[in-house]
Structure 1
Amino acid sequence: MALGGCANAWAAASSASLPFDDIAGSFAKNEIVELVEEGVVNGTGNRKFEPKKNVTRAEFVAMADRLLKLAPVDADMPSFADVPAKSWYYGWIEAAVQLGIAEGKSKSSFEPSARITRQEAAVLIVRALKVDPGSDTGSGLDYKDKSQIAPWAAPYVQAAHTLGLMGGADGKFRPVDAMTREETAAVLDRILHDNVWSKAIRQTPNMGLQLGWQNGLTTAQFKEQVKNSAVNTLVPRWFFLEYGSTPVSNHADPSLSSWAKQNNKKVWAMLGNHSDSALTHQILSDGHARAAVIQKLAGYAKTYGLSGINVDFENVNPEDRLSLTAFISEFGTSLRAAGAVLSIDVSPDLGTDWTEAFDYEALGRYADYVVLMGYDEHWDGDPVAGSVSSLPWVQSALNRMLSVVPAKKTILALPFYTRDWTLQSGGASSEELTLIQQGYRIRSVAYNRSWDSDLGQYVVSYMRQGSQHKIWVEDGRSLGLKTMMAAKRGVAGYAYWYVGAETDEIWTSLSNAIRYASY
């Protein structure tokens, strides 16, 4: 009797030490405890975990996201009609969809409350681990029920089996059975016990340089926007080439420099040319004028405690190619002596007069950083409607840049704007929209939306006043894909035109993309 009482007391104490009262008999007890400590899983209330309960598609995605240390994304517009913005799982599903981890059951529905089957779980977890399953049809599987595995899932089931993440029982895989909460815990915990994945997940990713241009905002407004962003390098538009005896106009605000220093951020003030080709030629072609500009700006760098200067010259004549290169060479030497760095903004090399002035290889040699402006694929006044920054176009432009400029010197600039195109028989016209305006516009009309996997963005179409409109959407999903593409190529960082035009959740999307790309 005494021995039985001791045993009961021991069992009660053991159960009390667990986070839930109903997992002591679960085969995944230890895994559940570990995942609770990692913040990956939680209970269902009243100290219950319900290990035998089926897992929904939304729950599985949320747990996978938390395992990968991704943050929920409060996307400006829902990806699926049945995933409302106010649902608890909205941000988790949006985060996974943006990174290509999860997909809907159809183009318009995710079915978040449906039970996730074992073969669906295999697909999602293999995809989350960025493992290419190849085209293996599962021929190597020896499960008695392998004929029940759907063709679209077979390569993933094979991969999950090979990786040791999912096995069968009694010689069966049970592909259409629902995953239970304890099975899910077991699978996810196996990832944490893989040395490579565990190390990757626990590392803090390097965000690199995060440049944000100031445009149309007061200093106070710019500071507020930067506070809520990932920007670590401020680019205020302070200096411009000018005609006359004073070759550079100065619009500096010293209070921004002081604030940046207090908040551990850098300032790379911008030098512009008003897109004036004649003025630019006049200064670049004159050695004394170049020297005067450089001397002035090197002095400003010291006066305002600048960490760098960002040169943004547009509409430069092709004949000024050598003069521009000489200016960057001389300017870079002078700035480095002042303890600052030099960056120059360039358009993608399209082999046109617009970019003929850029000797990309030489600029990459003499500047500390080259900023590739990954936008204006289709521009204001373009008679052909299209994206301002499709994924294949940006990828092609970046690949071409990296063939002559080292990745460690390359910064990819991304657009916080898009265009609303009006399609008419005589050609297309467009209106520029910030990402904030884009959301308002789309929500104000009856629209059709489809995901273009080739372009890496949604395309929205609607009718207004008898004319068809199209918007190639820039959002967390499209920008995240471009970010991951560039991260794989080892770029030094990213720049954004412009701070204040973005919706709030963009920074979460970009942070997730950089983290996921690091895996």
Structure 2
Amino acid sequence: MPVSVLQEHIDPTLFWDAAEQILTVTTADQVVRLASDELTAFINAEPVSLEVPIRIVGDLPYAPLSFLARLYGLDWTFDQTAAVVAVLDKDLAHRESLLERSTSLRAGPSLRQVRFTSLKQGERVIIYGEEGGWLKVQSTGGLVGYIPRSATGPISTVLPDQTVPKSYPRWQPKQGAINLTWEYVHSRTPSFAEIGPLPGVNVIAPTWFNLSSPEGDLASRADAAFVKAAHAEGIAVWALVTNDFDPDLTRAVLSSSNKREKVIRQLLTYAHLLELDGLNIDFENVYLADSHLLVQFLRELTPLAHAEGLTVSVDITVPSTSPNWSLVYDRPAIAEIVDYVALMAYDEHWAASPVAGSVASLPWTEAGILATLESVPAKKLLLGLPFYTRLWEEHTLPGGGAKVTSTAYSMSRARVFLEQNSLEPTFDPSSGQNYVSLSLPGITLRLWLEDHASLQARLGLVKKYQLAGVASWQRGYAEPWVWELLAENLGTRQ
């Protein structure tokens, strides 16, 4: 059957790679690959034999219906005389009956209508409706038309197969909400002795993996000792995987079925060797035209990761009009596929912003949560918390106006800045945060604080919208008091 017909009527997520001539089928627990003219398919990387391979007829790929029917739980018949394929979804309830006498199948509910074919006594028909003593039916050969109601026996309703499909139980912490913090790793992963206590943290996500070549190679900074130490503290490890913010590299890898598979195999191998608990996918600055490729990568990764006991999470931005940074995320599809979605609710005013402002004002953050909840369920959503701010410098220009620059400040660096300059914060109602400014000759310094009040307000939004938890960027920017406040509000204190 043509792949395009299967996509239209059976499964719109069927993915045909025309360049490599590979069909990929993804379900909740399986990834199936079929290559053109090959009599071996692969289900979760295990080979299975095919009676008929994928064929290319003209420019159209045709897939083996007998194999896919078993995969999807379908019944199908082929009427060679009428050249009709009939497919019945066994997961749908339907009405049917056996013919008590032979009759004609007609184009409409009348003896004057064109006769399609003869139906024999004892033949089963599926019933779609009734009109003036006539039934609209489908024959076993797949033809749809009308027969007299008097030709059929009792009508019965066939219920779908009640077999419960396999599902992966989404990981949840033993108590409270998810309290994830990212660990930024430039070259060397710090030891837990260097990090110090993290009371209440139940997930840590070190930035360990990144795409490193257009061929789908991964670079790794992973440290098995870090995982072992985290587990000793009762903390799960979800290793972060990034695309290096490179849209061309991302396209080169994700556009190839073979390269996607290569990346996934590497990730699963690392996960097994390191005894990871999950993967955190952080693909940013991706071409909008490649949105479907990112979704397909997640469709192929998630079932295989689940089979290895791994939790899959994805980082997304606050909804905006930016093609590469926001519109590229098919949020409904992503939320359906993965276990958790981390909303990076920061960089409202980014490093090169032409205007000084908060990293994440409270009204902007709440609006971002509400917009995201339109497509991501609260039970899967983690609110991103910034543990950093920006010191803005507004330089007065000779002709008027100002040149704006910024420097990222951790919580402790911001506190020291206030102490050194004897500054007392005031509340800024527009941002919902504490704020300071300092005027010097030719320059004005501005700082919106990420402090106790700001963090408490963000945690209030987590409670208000009953989110799954938080994800904080990043551990190294936080002051020690932060962890106690998070543990108290998220119910993760042990």
TM-score by length of structure 1 reads 0.58
Q: Which residue in 1 is equivalent to 2:182?
A: 213
Instruction: Give, in whole Å, the separation in 1 of the partners of 2:248 and 2:317.
Output: 19
Is the 8 Å Cα contact of residues 344 and 369 (structure 1) preserved in structure 2?
yes
Q: CA deviation at 1:223?
A: 5.0
Residues 442 and 222 (structure 1), Cα distance of their counterparts in 2 relative to 1, 3 Å cut: farther
Is the 8 Å Cα contact of residues 319 and 368 (structure 2) preserved in structure 1?
yes
Q: CA deviation at 1:245?
A: 5.0
Instruction: Give, in whole Å, the separation in 2 of the partners of 1:453 and 1:206.
Output: 35
Q: Which residue in 2 is equivalent to 1:403?
A: 374
Instruction: Give, in whole Å, the separation in 2 of the partners of 1:512 and 1:264.
Output: 17
Q: Which residue in 2 is equivalent to 1:119?
A: none
Instruction: Give, in whole Å, the separation in 2 of the partners of 1:448 and 1:261.
Output: 42
Is the 8 Å Cα contact of residues 214 and 222 (structure 1) preserved in structure 2?
no
Q: CA deviation at 1:486?
A: 1.6
Is the 8 Å Cα contact of residues 199 and 487 (structure 2) preserved in structure 1?
no
Is the 8 Å Cα contact of residues 236 and 268 (structure 1) preserved in structure 2?
yes
Instruction: Give, in whole Å, the separation in 1 of the partners of 2:286 and 2:263.
Output: 17
Is the 8 Å Cα contact of residues 481 and 513 (structure 1) preserved in structure 2?
no
Q: CA deviation at 1:512?
A: 4.0
Q: How does 1:237-316 map to 2 (within 5 A)?
A: 237-243=207-213, 245=215, 247-316=217-286
* AA in 2 matched with 1:241: L
Output one character per residue of 1:73-113: Cα deviation in whole Å (capped at 9) or x when no partner.
xxxxxxxxxxxxxxxxxxxxxxxxxxxxxxxxxxxxxxxxx
Partner secondary structure for residue 237 of structure 1: strand
Q: CA deviation at 1:453?
A: 3.5
The range that moved more, 213-222 or 433-442, is: 213-222
Query: 2:310 aligned with 1:358, yes or no?
Result: no
* AA in 2 matched with 1:460: V
Query: 2:478 aligned with 1:502, yes or no?
Result: yes
Is the 8 Å Cα contact of residues 378 and 385 (structure 1) preserved in structure 2?
yes
Residues 467 and 229 (structure 1), Cα distance of their counterparts in 2 relative to 1, 3 Å cut: farther
Instruction: Give, in whole Å, the separation in 1 of the partners of 2:225 and 2:468.
Output: 28
Query: 2:388 aligned with 1:388, yes or no?
Result: no
Higher RCO (Cα < 8 Å, 6 or more apart): 1
Is the 8 Å Cα contact of residues 192 and 226 (structure 2) preserved in structure 1?
no
Q: CA deviation at 1:233?
A: 0.7
Is the 8 Å Cα contact of residues 267 and 307 (structure 1) preserved in structure 2?
yes
Please identify which structure carries the higher helix content.
1
Is the 8 Å Cα contact of residues 192 and 229 (structure 2) preserved in structure 1?
no
Q: CA deviation at 1:258?
A: 1.1
Output one character per residue of 1:203-235: Cα deviation in whole Å (capped at 9) or x when no partner.
xx9531111111258534555436234321111
Q: CA deviation at 1:481?
A: 0.5
Q: Which residue in 1 is equivalent to 2:342?
A: 371
Instruction: Give, in whole Å, the separation in 1 of the partners of 2:279 and 2:319.
Output: 23
* AA in 2 matched with 1:440: V
Kindly tell me the number of residue pairs found equivalent between the two proteins.
Answer: 312
Instruction: Give, in whole Å, the separation in 2 of the partners of 1:296 and 1:512.
Output: 38
Is the 8 Å Cα contact of residues 280 and 316 (structure 1) preserved in structure 2?
yes
Instruction: Give, in whole Å, the separation in 1 of the partners of 2:263 and 2:182.
Output: 22
Please identify which structure carries the higher strand content.
2
Q: Which residue in 2 is equivalent to 1:470?
A: 446
Instruction: Give, in whole Å, the separation in 2 of the partners of 1:380 and 1:454.
Output: 20
Q: CA deviation at 1:463?
A: 2.3
Q: Which residue in 1 is equivalent to 2:465?
A: 489
Query: 2:200 aligned with 1:230, yes or no?
Result: yes
Q: CA deviation at 1:244?
A: 5.5
1:479 is aligned, of 447, 455, 469, to 455
Q: Which residue in 2 is equivalent to 1:418?
A: 389
Residues 419 and 488 (structure 1), Cα distance of their counterparts in 2 relative to 1, 3 Å cut: same
Is the 8 Å Cα contact of residues 240 and 250 (structure 1) preserved in structure 2?
yes
Q: Greater Rg, structure 1 or structure 2?
A: 2
Q: CA deviation at 1:514?
A: 3.8
Q: CA deviation at 1:448?
A: 4.8
Q: How does 1:71-470 map to 2 (within 5 A)?
A: 206-216=175-185, 218-222=188-192, 224-225=194-195, 227-243=197-213, 245=215, 247-353=217-323, 354-424=325-395, 425-470=401-446
Structure 2 unaligned residues grouped into runs of 5+ = 1-173, 396-400
* AA in 2 matched with 1:262: A
Cα RMSD for the two superposed structures: 2.0
Is the 8 Å Cα contact of residues 438 and 445 (structure 2) preserved in structure 1?
yes
Is the 8 Å Cα contact of residues 374 and 413 (structure 1) preserved in structure 2?
yes
Output one character per residue of 1:37-75: Cα deviation in whole Å (capped at 9) or x when no partner.
xxxxxxxxxxxxxxxxxxxxxxxxxxxxxxxxxxxxxxx
Q: CA deviation at 1:386?
A: 0.4
Partner secondary structure for residue 408 of structure 2: strand
Residues 220 and 418 (structure 1), Cα distance of their counterparts in 2 relative to 1, 3 Å cut: same
Is the 8 Å Cα contact of residues 216 and 253 (structure 2) preserved in structure 1?
no
Instruction: Give, in whole Å, the separation in 2 of the partners of 1:460 and 1:207.
Output: 35
The range that moved more, 458-467 or 290-299, is: 458-467
- The runs of at least 4 consecutive aligned structure 1 residues that moved more than 6 Å come to none
Is the 8 Å Cα contact of residues 211 and 231 (structure 1) preserved in structure 2?
yes
Instruction: Give, in whole Å, the separation in 1 of the partners of 2:253 and 2:417.
Output: 43
Is the 8 Å Cα contact of residues 422 and 467 (structure 1) preserved in structure 2?
yes
Output one character per residue of 1:165-195: Cα deviation in whole Å (capped at 9) or x when no partner.
xxxxxxxxxxxxxxxxxxxxxxxxxxxxxxx
Q: Which residue in 2 is equivalent to 1:117?
A: none
Instruction: Give, in whole Å, the separation in 2 of the partners of 1:464 and 1:261.
Output: 50
* AA in 2 matched with 1:208: A
Q: CA deviation at 1:447?
A: 2.9
Q: CA deviation at 1:465?
A: 4.7
Is the 8 Å Cα contact of residues 477 and 509 (structure 1) preserved in structure 2?
no
Residues 399 and 357 (structure 1), Cα distance of their counterparts in 2 relative to 1, 3 Å cut: same
